[in-house]
Structure 1
Amino acid sequence: MIKKVIFIFVSMLIISCAKEATPKPYGELRLEYPAPKYQKFEPNCMYSFEVSDFAKIYDAKRPCWYYLNYPKMKAKIFLTYYPINNDFAQQIQETEKMVYKHTIKASSIDTKSFEYPERKVYGNFYELKGQAASNLQFYATDSTKHFVTGYLYFNSRPKPDSLAPAVDYIKKDLMHLLDTFEWKK
């Protein structure tokens, strides 16, 4: 009996001296999205553009306002349209107010101006880094009659590392949207 106890004790000592167990690092799900196929969106409004077939388009509260919904990413882009009635400076100011409202949580805001004089499309594209509620925002205008804004929001807490693949995908879509944006005559 004592020999069995000693044998079990020695066996446990030998087994317990094996390589120390280490916990595996926490892994994130790798998100991959399909290559976008763009199609022209021509609402009964003063503008048109190309949008990814990955996004679903819904009417919003007002005429010429739309949601570009990315259901698999739980993301929405809110597009708004305003006619300019001698309030161009006020429209720009309101848009920038919406952008800089996020400075509390954003670690930086990158602003890129764009202009397509042949189509009379001018504007700014804002990329907000950090834990901002809206990661991408833009406005496009002809500077005399029309003003369109866009704001990206996710239906989740702002986690920059987790949302980065979705933000990058949607950023490319928005850049294409702006590259193909046109005012109707």
Structure 2
Amino acid sequence: MISIKNLNNTINTIALLMLLMFVSACNEYTPKPKGYNRIDNATGETVEYNFPKFSFRYSDQVHIDTLQSKVENEIWFNIVYPKYNAIIYCTYLPVSKLTLPKVLEDSYKLAFSHSLKADEIIQQTYINVDRGVSGTVYSIEGSVATPIQFFLTDSVSHFFRGSFYYAEKVNSDSVAPITEFVMKDIEEMINTFSWQGK
């Protein structure tokens, strides 16, 4: 048999639950939209960078760190995007008709080593007969360490390679605007690239 005291406790509990449901049902639920970091793409000028074997124009929003090469006649440097915590690792190699096939194959292998994680790898060929520059840009889409790789050559004695990396693990969708911005900088570099001291 139910006692009056237990009945009062049950009624009080039910009344409290109904009151809570009534109060919480007054406001219409609105889901919060997904938030992303704000990415401002700087629109600066381009400046010319001259090295002993080549020159090109690039954004003035970056800085170039020249590195000490461990191999004679090679040039190593990084194009650093401090605002985005990103780097393009660049290497210049002198080549011959005998060594060029090997460095071309190495570049291809490095780009396609990401094929297991990549959603797609798009190759874009570039040829500028007047400047004696040809090459390939690899756009590597998906969750990969390097979304852009490229190489340039004169097919005789010069070879230049670049790989774009983020300095930390990122979500490719979140940094897509940065990758597009850097791709435009790389296109400017390629379009203005010329060999020195042929």
Paired residue secondary structure (1:159): coil
Q: In the TM superposition, what are the counterparts of 1:53-68 in structure 2 within 5 Å?
A: 53-62=60-69, 63-68=74-79
Distance between the aligned counterparts of 1:128 and 1:116, measured in 2?
23
Decide whether the 8 Å contact of 1:135 with 1:153 is kept in 2: yes
Q: Which has the larger radius of gyration?
A: 2
Separation in 2, partners of 1:151, 1:89: 19
Query: Counterpart of 1:98?
Result: 110
State how far apart, in whole Å, the 1-side matches of 2:103 and 2:46 are.
29
Letter in 2 for 1:78: Y
Q: Is the 8 A contact 1:105 1:131 kept in 2?
A: yes
- Whole-angstrom CA distance in 2 between matches of 1:116 and 1:83: 19
* 1:52-94 alpha-carbon deviations (Å, 9 max, x no partner): 0111100123152110000110100011011113211111001
Give yes or no for contact 1:124–1:140 (8 Å, CA) kept in 2: yes
Q: Which whole-Å deviations, capped at 9, do the CAs of 1:106-142 have from their partners, x for residues lacking one?
A: 1100000010000100110110000111000110000
User: Which residue is equivalent to 1:47?
Assistant: 54
Q: Following the alignment from structure 2 to structure 1, what is the Cα–Cα distance between the partners of residues 21 and 126?
A: 71
Match of 2:147 among 122, 129, 135: 135
Q: Deviations over 1:149-180 (max 9, x none)?
A: 00000011141111101101100000000000
- Offset at 1:33? 1.5
Q: Distance in 2 between matches of 1:175 and 1:26?
A: 32
Matches of 1:184 and 1:48 in 2, distance apart? 7
**How many residues in Structure 1 have an aligned counterpart in Structure 2?**
178
Bigger CA drift: 56-65 or 104-113?
A: 56-65
Residues 13 and 157 of structure 1, relative CA distance in 2, 3 Å threshold? closer
Between the aligned partners of 1:173 and 1:139, the Cα distance in structure 2 is 15
| Aligned residues: CA RMSD | 1.9
> 1:140-155 residue pairs with structure 2 within 5 A?
140-155=152-167
- Structure 1: how far apart are the matches of 2:20 and 2:142? 51
- Structure 1 match to 2:6: none
For 1:165, what is the secondary structure of its paired residue? helix
CA–CA distance in structure 2, aligned partners of residues 150 and 181 of structure 1: 13
Query: Percent identical across equivalent pairs?
Result: 29
Q: What CA distance in whole angstroms lies between the structure 1 residues aligned with 2:21 and 2:139?
A: 59
TM-score, length of structure 1 as denominator length:
0.89
What are structure 1's unaligned runs of at least 5 residues? Answer: none
Q: Please tell me whether residue 157 in structure 1 is matched to residue 164 in structure 2.
A: no
More displaced 10-residue stretch of structure 1: 56-65 or 19-28: 19-28
Determine helix, strand or coil for the equivalent of 1:160. coil
TM-score (norm 2): 0.84
C-alpha distance in 1 between matches for 2:156 and 2:167: 35
Q: Does 1:84 align with 2:128?
A: no
| Cα shift at 1:105 | 0.9
